[in-house]
Structure 1
């Protein structure tokens, strides 16, 4: 048994809205509806772009479970297209569109759904909703907090939680559905079910042709006071081959783009509009357009890479700030060391990082290292830390004093050989030679009166260390 679709679609701007943000497409293998949102002209752009991308599936020869993969890929490509449009014009930030699509291979249906547009099936007089609303109110119903009847009149029934908006988390619901001859399928934007009950919808779908049903349903919505665009697509599943020459139908915001694409590889379509009964855009609504509030509960998620870069910059800033603080601290430290053959005051600390020196010569002294006694020279060569610059200069002053003491020592200290000749004359007079023998210790005090010659403030100089002075 060969099954095919007999379809019709129609879109009306409504009694209040001045522009139509809905788009719909009906073809032999694809039924598609998108309801744009975002204010200004962005909603029209979003729905039209989504339909223009996804409707290309109608020409593809895909069947069975492959339809699910094809629908998912098409929705993601449409999502990427919306992202590109926002990057081209930042004023479109915040725009989005619902997507409800049924793909038909003659035996089964593949469903892709995102948002609050709806897909219905009427079988044996029973109306069944195929899609699941991604709205705040529906989440309350799912949790058992309100009834379905209360949801119908809830003041926040338009708040949508998931939508096609160019963000990476816009994944649709996907499902395979059975189909049989006699089924009547219907897709609609929220302008119909928000104002018309399921009982009225079922009664309208129970009889008539697809053409008459779409008109009847839109009329019910407008008479019920719908202040939104209303778009309806109805398709009958029949046991006959598609009639020769049947053309796809395109309505709403996408129709203008379709008219400009003839001859550039896009399928030929029949553009349909509402029947000119005075409903289209002539009214002026007061107050805030409810479409402007549909994204209200959603935090901004676009350009996550920008937020990651911002976080990275903050982290790098903290690291850089800490590094600069540490470097600044090192440049306030001083120590005394050697610069070649001379004593020098260094600024910084005795440590180096790859590509960065943490110390440099601040003041090179005229004091030569080899003029210092052994102990002081070893201290300077190992570096003497100072609390600050005055402390470093004080250390240098003491080193200079020590060097001066050692330089003066040879002229003030008796030579060890002088007592030997002086001891020879009194050999024949033992009693007389005794006093001179005890005199050498008396001549040593001048050499021991130089405790100020130190290599550091806390270390006294051993007089014997001056022997290491070169």
Structure 2
């Protein structure tokens, strides 16, 4: 099938950081997003170098499998370039970058992915995530140790298990081949978008688009509405059945500017920033790579389990406290009822009861206190009706006074 493509790309520094560590590229055959890590230690350098290196893949391939293989090889070569850069500029030690990209080959796409940037697909109204995050929390989710909801607030959510950089000499890279069809919209984005804009919002923006450029602007704007504490980069690729205008390569983010080695972020970038309106926001947790060792994983898993146990203990203590308050209130209420008295009958004689005339389920709140021995039949019609309906008394003394009046009337 002959298909045609249109694309758009955009990047924004966000509302907190002082420099943009994201880079993006929308070319003729190559479309890619890279999210640098390392802050002032070179996140912007890592993503920019990666994009510039990958631009050599923006050419025609005869088969998508060849494109996927070339993509993987180029990323491994780029990984060495980043390591060599750190050797020449030691102040950049620890820098790295995520990469998520597509190469078009006719109606098929070769995908390469490492890190937590993402590729989504909107097809016939259905919006789905194509790539899997290479993060510690995603590993916990996949193993069933935590839920997707817990992953969103997990304190280790910024820990990356796979990235390009001087942190791993031979990183594992995911590659896949997909067939695309007219009407498909592919979204490539950094976690500055996916972490703060919900899938529902992403779906709505893409389905309601009037143009790809407008959709990119709205995606970034939506992240800004949510505070945009991280850099935001998005690349859109749409498949068509009819010819489109020729694609013009576009570079965004750090890769669109000259690379500056070792320039530190300002204090506002590392210590938190300001939202519109003057409200201070908290610093953004910096994504970072951690070695994939069993001891490390076991320690983090144990920490997660400890947090779960702590939450359960707190929940149980709260339940126990509420139960104690309810029990105390019930006891005090019952004690109060036992200070009340009333005059009534068991059908034969006049009785003094302690408590009140209500029941709580099967529990009676009154009990016989004293049998006066006065036959109910000896009372006049009026007094008999009063006793059968019960006569409230403020105290036992008051109850006995009522009984004496009944005796006088009887006499």
TM-score range for the pair, normalised by the shorter chain length: 0.5 to 0.7
| CA gap 1:299/1:224 in 2 versus in 1, 3 angstroms | same
Shift of 1:27: 1.4
TM-score by length of 1: 0.56
Tell me, what secondary structure is at the counterpart of 1:152?
helix
Equivalent residue for 1:388? none
Counterparts in 2 of 1:327-366, with a 5 A limit?
none
Shift of 1:240: 2.7
Shift of 1:55: 1.7
Tell me, what secondary structure is at the counterpart of 2:23?
strand
Give me the whole-angstrom Cα distance separating, in 2, the residues matched to 1:153 and 1:280. 21
Give me the whole-angstrom Cα distance separating, in 2, the residues matched to 1:170 and 1:113. 11
Tell me, what secondary structure is at the counterpart of 1:2?
coil
Deviations 1:260-296 (A, max 9, x none): xxxxxxxxxxxxxxxxxxx9999996665422xx226
Counterparts in 2 of 1:75-86, with a 5 A limit?
75-86=75-86
Equivalent residue for 1:214? 216
**Larger Rg, first or second structure (1 or 2):** 1
Tell me, what secondary structure is at the counterpart of 2:46?
helix
Give me the whole-angstrom Cα distance separating, in 1, the residues matched to 2:227 and 2:125. 27
Deviations 1:316-348 (A, max 9, x none): xxxxxxxxxxxxxxxxxxxxxxxxxxxxxxxxx
Give me the whole-angstrom Cα distance separating, in 1, the residues matched to 2:219 and 2:289. 29
Task: Report the count of equivalent residues.
Answer: 277
Shift of 1:224: 1.2
Deviations 1:34-90 (A, max 9, x none): 000112150110000000011211124342311111111111111111011011111
Equivalent residue for 2:89? 89
- Please state if 1:252 is matched with 2:253: yes
Equivalent residue for 1:290? 285
Equivalent residue for 1:238? 240
Tell me, what secondary structure is at the counterpart of 1:139?
helix
Given that residues 114 and 171 in structure 1 are in contact (C-alpha distance below 8 angstroms), is that contact kept between their aligned partners in structure 2? yes
Counterparts in 2 of 1:37-186, with a 5 A limit?
37-40=37-40, 42-166=42-166, 167-186=168-187
Shift of 1:221: 1.1
Given that residues 34 and 50 in structure 1 are in contact (C-alpha distance below 8 angstroms), is that contact kept between their aligned partners in structure 2? yes
Q: Which runs of 4+ in 1 moved over 4 A?
A: 279-289
Equivalent residue for 1:265? none
Shift of 1:226: 2.5
Tell me, what secondary structure is at the counterpart of 1:186?
strand
Which structure 1 segments of 5+ residues have no match? 259-278, 301-470
Given that residues 4 and 28 in structure 1 are in contact (C-alpha distance below 8 angstroms), is that contact kept between their aligned partners in structure 2? no
Tell me, what secondary structure is at the counterpart of 1:233?
strand
Tell me, what secondary structure is at the counterpart of 1:101?
strand
| CA gap 1:231/1:56 in 2 versus in 1, 3 angstroms | same
Equivalent residue for 1:355? none
Tell me, what secondary structure is at the counterpart of 1:192?
helix
Give me the whole-angstrom Cα distance separating, in 1, the residues matched to 2:278 and 2:50. 28
Give me the whole-angstrom Cα distance separating, in 1, the residues matched to 2:276 and 2:253. 13
Tell me, what secondary structure is at the counterpart of 1:182?
coil
Give me the whole-angstrom Cα distance separating, in 2, the residues matched to 1:129 and 1:154. 20
Tell me, what secondary structure is at the counterpart of 1:144?
coil
- Please state if 1:202 is matched with 2:223: no
Given that residues 42 and 92 in structure 2 are in contact (C-alpha distance below 8 angstroms), is that contact kept between their aligned partners in structure 1? yes
Shift of 1:11: 0.2
Equivalent residue for 2:20? 20
Tell me, what secondary structure is at the counterpart of 1:222?
helix
Deviations 1:218-254 (A, max 9, x none): 111111123100001111111233424x311110000
Give me the whole-angstrom Cα distance separating, in 2, the residues matched to 1:60 and 1:82. 26
> Per chain length, whose mean CA-contact separation is higher, i.e. which structure has more relative contact order (CA < 8 Å, sep 6+)?
2
Give me the whole-angstrom Cα distance separating, in 1, the residues matched to 2:30 and 2:275. 27
Q: CA RMSD in A?
A: 2.4
